[in-house]
């Protein structure tokens, strides 16, 4: 006989004028290797078919099942109930627009973020489908791949005090995106181009540096390193811009 588990789940449907935000409790007996994903599906199938939550891959790849699990953002599909106490509180991720219950709209947020940081290779080279592929060292390809592993789950954004207070704050996932393109030799942008995008109070200069983002990232992306690198590069660029302003003949944009 497995542990009796109690799930306290946030319920609210913003589309329904009669709906009022509240917590609702459900009970299940724990089974071997039960994940929160399995538990939520059982609750929906056996107890309440109206329960809203997101999932797709069940394997920590699609990023859609992130939620607040006993106050901490994490993926439901890779969280075993055995790692949790018998009473489990589930809330939707903050910062993102609520769709209903545990389901939030991370897609719109991430699309806006990717547009904002212009998240694609910038080059004036004309694409030649017959040319050999451009080569880069295995070491550099590995470094870029390390940052590409972001699954856009939103856990780092939900854990970020600044993103919770300032709706326009870019968040660690955006800084990770910028770092990824800065590293890529195919991208012809210069430091000043990235400065325009990220060197603001809503960007890297507004980051509090307490690294809640890195603590909760389910893919263990080295966010601290990217934030540190970006802060250093943008800090030096802003000093250079200052000197260019006060010294005669200076023009930061040319560098």
With CB under 6 A as the contact rule, the residue among 28, 34, 36, 77 that binds ligand FES is 77
Within 126-165, the residues that bind ligand SF4 by CB under 6 A are 150-156, 159-160, 162-163
Question: Rounded CA gap, 198 and 206, in Å?
Answer: 10
Interface with ligand SF4 includes 92 (CB under 6 A)?
no
- Judged by beta carbon, residue 76 or residue 170, the one nearer ligand FES is 76
The answer to the question of residue 57 lying near ligand FES (CB under 6 A) is yes
Return the residues of window 163-222 that contact ligand SF4 according to CB under 6 A.
163, 171-173, 176, 207-213, 217, 219, 221
Task: Write the CB contacts of 12 (distance below 8 Å, at least 6 apart in sequence).
Answer: 19, 20, 21, 22, 98, 100, 101
Neighbours of 138 (CB within 10 A): 7
CB of 29 to ligand SF4, least distance (A): 31
Residue 36 touches which of ligand SF4, ligand FES, none (CB < 5 to 8 A by kind)? none
C-alpha 61 chain-centroid distance: 13
Long-range contacts of residues 241-249, Cβ cutoff 8 Å, at least 24 apart? 241/195
Nearer to ligand FES (CB atom), residue 63 or residue 171 = 63
Closest to ligand FES by CB, 58 or 189: 58
Residue 61 interaction partner, one of ligand FES, ligand SF4, none, beta carbon < 5-8 Å per kind: ligand FES
- The sheet with strand 66-69 has its strands ordered as 22-29, 4-11, 87-91, 66-69, 72-75
Considering beta carbons, is residue 88 or 153 the nearer one to ligand SF4? Answer: 153
Q: Please list the helix, strand and coil fractions of the chain in percent, rounded to the nearest 5, in that order.
A: 40, 15, 45
The minimum distance between CB 70 and ligand FES, in angstroms, equals 17
The structure tokens 């009796």 sit at 4
In the block, which residue shows the tokens 């489990």?
88
Going by the DSSP 8-state scheme, the letter that residue 92 receives in this structure is -
Query: Where does this chain bind ligand FES (CB under 6 A)?
Result: 55-58, 60-65, 75, 77
Query: Where does this chain bind ligand SF4 (CB under 6 A)?
Result: 150-156, 159-160, 162-163, 171-173, 176, 207-213, 217, 219, 221, 227
């Amino acid at each position: 006989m497995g542990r009796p588990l109690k799930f306290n789940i946030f319920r609210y449907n913003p589309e329904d004028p009669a709906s009022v935000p509240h917590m609702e409790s459900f009970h299940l007996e724990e089974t071997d290797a039960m994940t929160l994903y399995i538990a939520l599906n059982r609750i929906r199938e056996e107890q309440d078919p109206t329960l809203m939550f997101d999932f797709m891959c069940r394997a920590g790849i699609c990023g859609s099942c992130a939620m607040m699990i006993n106050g901490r953002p994490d993926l439901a599909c890779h969280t075993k109930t055995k790692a949790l106490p018998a009473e489990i509180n589930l809330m939707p991720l903050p910062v993102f627009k609520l769709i209903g219950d545990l389901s939030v709209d991370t897609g719109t947020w991430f699309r806006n973020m990717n547009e904002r940081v212009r998240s694609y290779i910038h080059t004036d080279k004309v694409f030649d489908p017959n040319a050999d592929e451009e080569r880069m060292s295995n070491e550099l390809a590995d470094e870029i791949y390390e940052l590409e592993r972001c699954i856009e789950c939103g856990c780092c954004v939900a854990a970020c005090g600044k993103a919770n207070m300032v709706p326009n704050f870019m968040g660690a996932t955006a800084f990770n995106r910028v770092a990824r393109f800065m590293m890529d030799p195919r991208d012809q942008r210069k430091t000043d181009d990235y400065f325009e995008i990220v060197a603001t109070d809503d960007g890297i200069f507004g980051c509090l540096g307490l690294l809640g983002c890195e603590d909760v990232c389910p893919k263990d992306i080295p966010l601290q390193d990217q934030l540190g690198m970006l802060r250093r590069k943008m800090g030096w660029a802003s000093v250079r811009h200052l000197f260019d302003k006060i010294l005669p003949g200076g023009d930061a944009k040319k560098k």
